[in-house]
Amino acid sequence: MPSPTTEPADSRRVSLVTLGCARNEVDSEELAGRLAAGGWELSADPEDSDVVVVNTCGFVESAKKDSVDTLLAAADTGRKVVAVGCMAERYGTELADSLPEADAVLGFDHYAELSDRLDDVVAGRALASHTPSDRRKLLPISPVRRPAASTAVEVPGHAQHGWGPRVLRTRLDDTPVAALKIASGCDRRCSFCAIPSFRGSFVSRTPEEILAEARWLAEHGVKELFLVSENSTSYGKDFGRDGTRALERLLPELAGVEGIERVRVSYLQPAETRPQLVQAIAGTPGVADYFDLSFQHSSEQVLRRMRRFGSTDSFLALTGQIRELAPEAGIRTNVIVGFPGETEQDLAELERFLTGARLDAVGVFGYSDEDGTEAETFEGKLDPAEVAERVARISALVEELTAQRAEDRIGTFVDVLVEQTGSEEDDPVGRAAHQAPEVDGECVLLDASGLAVGELVRCEVVDSAGVDLIVRPLRDADR
């Protein structure tokens, strides 16, 4: 690994463009840290750079299209273009052959020496494109053997190995919320998902690394930590017996970091969500009452074909447990409709769950085949027109139910993290504890002049608009 103090004499400029999820945002800031350590100057303007690095997303078809469109737009600037990220890792040479506009397609194993690889690109030296492989095979099958072995495998977001106390990350924006990766990879074998094959087996980061990065983020103005991974409920399982309740122990430590106002956990698997974890999230001061649960469906028959566990009744029991401990908690999920073999009865079962669960936000996705997944081989595929009709049906129900849930909050009080201060034309905007960045709606603050980005403001909910809340800050005496 190159020394973090090495800085070539000639300054080079690079622009990073990030697509996809919050995990990719963390990876981009890690890459930015690597490139800054290698002497590259970061630029927000692709046209003012020597190289544009596009951190691609390769999860679903629409994301792949966005990635290709972004790479083509970057090439239109006349600058050198390098593809990294999930789509580059997943398709490698195939992507390079179909997209000659990209000067290089690099996988995760290029990240440690990305500075040198960009030098090669600028100099016109040809680079062999990444050759994809199943990254699950790079680490031992036994989780407890992985921490030692992972130091020799490139795992995005785990760059702390070999850098000592220094945090290898450079912030690419000045927002008061930042994603913080607690683990990478996934050991689940959901029949519709290809992520484990290109993200690899599950590996936790150590609490010491996570806390060091949390303190670094706080020093750089972050007020809310958004804990991300492919499966946060598995955190610590590779630590052995000491890891059984690792996340429950980590949360109060993160909430206690000076300068951090709120900690939010994401990507929880319902079948792995233990009562102790629910209690820790609901009962730890400074941790948002927020549960991002990956239900995907609620029909037992569909879940089994998805290689998942649960049912409408077990999921309703879980949401009931959460509401009992934290009545105002936010619960969000994603669901897939039109899965191979899904019947009208299955869809009605999903509707029963959604109606009973009173969720705050729901992403609705229509099933489509993903390369290399088990579900791609299943019989019972639905006609695309039927899938679209079911998406519309569930989406309409979700829109009604989540709007009702927002209406139920009128008259309650929420703590809003201010993210935009507003202008003469627009009111300030922020998010309450039940609202994650970008996906769960926002709070519009009325009569709220003089606020600063990053302030946590106690507000009364006075109205709603869909999933968004209209709030008014309390006077000092009322707070």
92's CB contacts (< 8 A; 6+ apart) are 105, 107, 129, 130, 131, 132
Beta bridge partners of 55: 18, 84
Whether 343 and 300 have beta carbons less than 8 Å apart is answered as no
Residue 424 pLDDT more than 80? no
Handedness of CA 426, 427, 428, 429 (dihedral sign): negative
Predicted confidence (pLDDT) per residue in 267-292, tens digit: 999 999 999 999 999 999 999 999 99
Residue 476 pLDDT more than 70? no
Predicted confidence (pLDDT) per residue in 192-202, tens digit: 999 999 999 99
Indicate the SS3 state at residue 336: strand
Strand spans (E) along 293-420? 330-337, 361-366, 413-420
Q: What ranges do the domains of the chain cover?
A: 13-132, 146-408, 412-473
The answer on whether 186 is annotated among ligand-binding residues is yes
Per-residue pLDDT band for 154 (boundaries 50, 70, 90) equals: confident
Q: What percent of the chain has pLDDT over 90?
A: 84
Whether 3 and 82 have beta carbons less than 8 Å apart is answered as no
Question: How far, rounded to the nearest angstrom, does the alpha carbon of residue 129 sit from its chain's CA centroid?
Answer: 27
The answer on whether 193 is annotated among ligand-binding residues is yes
Whether 14 and 118 have beta carbons less than 8 Å apart is answered as yes
Mean pLDDT (whole number) for 81-90: 94
Q: Which two tokens stand for residue 56?
A: 């691609």
330's CB contacts (< 8 A; 6+ apart) are 288, 289, 290, 291, 360, 361, 432, 433, 434, 435, 436, 440
Task: Identify residue 367 by its one-letter amino acid code.
Answer: Y
Mean pLDDT (whole number) for 414-442: 91
Residue 4 pLDDT more than 80? no
Residue 479 pLDDT more than 60? no
Predicted confidence (pLDDT) per residue in 113-131, tens digit: 999 999 999 999 999 999 9
Q: Quick one: how many helices (H) and strands (E) in the chain?
A: 14, 18
Mean pLDDT (whole number) for 415-423: 90
pTM comes to 0.92
Burial class (CB in 10 A: 0-12, 13-18, 19+), 451: middle
CA dist list (Å): 173 to 27, 328, 423:
14, 31, 20
Mean pLDDT (whole number) for 354-380: 96
Q: Which two tokens stand for residue 324?
A: 């009992």
Q: Which helix (H) or strand (E) segment is 53 a member of?
A: strand 51-56
- Which of 280-284, 436-440, 469-473 has the lowest average pLDDT? 436-440
Residue 10 pLDDT more than 70? no
Mean pLDDT (whole number) for 70-83: 94
Indicate the SS3 state at residue 445: strand
Indicate the SS3 state at residue 337: strand
Residue 104: its pLDDT value, please? 96
Distance CA 306, CA 346 (A): 13
Residue 160: its pLDDT value, please? 57
- Which of 1-10, 189-198, 321-330 has the lowest average pLDDT? 1-10
Average pLDDT value over all residues in the chain: 92
Residue 2: its pLDDT value, please? 42
| Closest to 338 in 3D by CA, of 377, 383, 277 | 383
Whether 55 and 28 have beta carbons less than 8 Å apart is answered as yes
Q: What is the CATH number of domain 146-408?
A: 3.80.30.20
**Region for 338 from its dihedrals, namely left if φ exceeds 0, alpha if ψ lies in -120 to 50, beta otherwise:** left
Q: What percent of the chain has pLDDT over 70?
A: 95
Residue 108 pLDDT more than 80? yes
Q: Which helix (H) or strand (E) segment is 146 a member of?
A: helix 146-149
- CATH classification for the domain delimited by 412-473, as one of 3.90.180.10, 2.40.50.140, 1.10.10.60, 1.10.10.10: 2.40.50.140
Residue 450: its pLDDT value, please? 87
Distance CA 455, CA 415 (A): 10
| Closest to 290 in 3D by CA, of 315, 309, 316, 262 | 262
* CATH number 3.90.930.12 given to 13-132: no
Per-residue pLDDT band for 9 (boundaries 50, 70, 90) equals: very low
Residue 11: its pLDDT value, please? 65
Beta bridge partners of 336: 365
CA-atom Rg of the chain in angstroms: 23
CA dist list (Å): 133 to 93, 99, 372, 375:
11, 20, 12, 20
The string of DSSP letters for 180-247 reads EE-EE------TT--HHHHH-S-EEPPHHHHHHHHHHHHHTT--EEEEE-S-GGGTTGGGGGGGTTHH
Whether 183 and 143 have beta carbons less than 8 Å apart is answered as no
- Which of 150-159, 285-294, 454-463 has the lowest average pLDDT? 150-159
